[in-house]
A and B are shown apart, each in its own frame.
Chain A
C-alpha cells in the first residue's frame, strides 16, 4: 500500500542513509523523496510502497519509531490515504 514516511527534527549527517537502509531491509520501496528546511528544522518526506498486511505495517511503524528515538528525530509512517482524504476534495 502507499504510505508516507516523514522525518523531522534537527538536521544531521546520515539521516537519509539510516532511514533508507531500514526501509530497504524491510522490503519497502521508496518512490519519491523530498526534503525541506522549515524554521531551521529538517523535514524529509518519502513516498513509499509497503506490504499490504497489518502486522508488517505495525512492525515497520515500530521500527521507524525506534530509529527516530535513537537519532533524536521524529520518524513516522502513515497510510497515504489520510493525506488524500484531508487535502483533496
Chain B
C-alpha cells in the first residue's frame, strides 16, 4: 500500500475494494450454489437412506467400528484450528500480515466446525435420541459420563464452535456497519440488524477493543485444548497405535498443518473471484507457506517419534502394529500420507516455489489429501489390527459413506461461498487500522 497517500484516502479505497466484492452476484455464482446444493442433496439422500435402512449400509462393523465418518470428523475439526490460530494467536503476537486473511480463516473455522459437528450425528445408529448426549435432568436418571473422552469431545467442540462463532461475529460487527452505511433498501435493513446498531463511537470502541482481546486470550488455550481432547478419544484407549502420550501435541500440530493448507486452498480462488488481489497479496501466501514448512517439520518429527516410540517400547504388539501399518494393507495410504504431509511442504523451502501461486495451491491440496489420509490411517488401522489376530480385519468405505464424505466438502464450500459473497471477506476496519499505524 502506498504510504504517500493520506490515510483516509486509503481508508476509502479499502472500503470500496472490499464492499465491491459484495455486489450483485453473477449467474456463475448461482450455478455454483446450485450445483453445490445438488451434491449436498445427494448426501442428504444417502444419509436418509442410512437412517431408514440402518447402519449396515455403512461398512463400519467389527473390528473397525470407527470409519470414514469419524475420519471426517477429526479432519474437519482439524481444519477449523488454523482459523483461530491466525485470528487469535497471531493477533496476540501482533503479527501484522494476519489482518488481510484472518476473516476468511475465521469463517473457515466456523464452517469447518459446522461440518465436523454433523459427523458424530451421522455416525449415530439412533440419531433420533441424540438429545441423550445433553446434560439435563431426564427420565433415564442418567447423565453423560463426564469421565468419558467422548463426552469431553462434545463439550470441547460445542465450546469451540460457540467461541469461534462469537469471535468471528465480533470482528464482523464494524465491517457489517460499513456495509450497512453503503447499502439501501432491504439490504440495509438486514445488514443494519446484523451490525447491532454499531456507530463507530469511542464509547463502543473502547469496550469492543477489550472484548476482542479477551476473546483472543480465551480462544488461544481453547484451540490447543480442543484437538487435544479429540486426540484423547483415541489416546485414552489401550489399542496399539492409539495409546500414546504424543497424541495431543501431534494432533494439534496436524490440525494447524491441515488448516493452513485449507486457508491457502480457499484463498487462492476467492481472491481472484472477489478481486481482492490488492489486499490479499503474495506476501500473505508466502508467510503462510513458511508456517506450513514449520508445521510440516513438526509432523515429520511426530511421525518419526511415533515409529521410534513403538520400536523402543519393546512391546510386541506396538512394534508389530507399526510394522504392519507401514507394510500391510494400508501401506499405500500410510506412505501417501508421509509424502503429502512431510515431503511436499519441504518444497516450500525454495522461494521460487512458495511465491508461485500454482505451486502453493498444488502443495496445499496435497497436504489436505495427506491430512485426510493421516486421519484414515490413524483411526482405521488401529482397530483393524489389535491384539488378537483372530479379530483382525480390514475396512473400505461403502458408497453411502463416500457420498456423505463428498457432500461434506460441498456443504463446507457452500457455506464458505455464501460467506464470501454476502459478508466482508477481508476485515475492513482492521485493515484501516493497520494503515493508520
A and B: interacting chains: no
Binding site for B on A (CB under 8 A): none
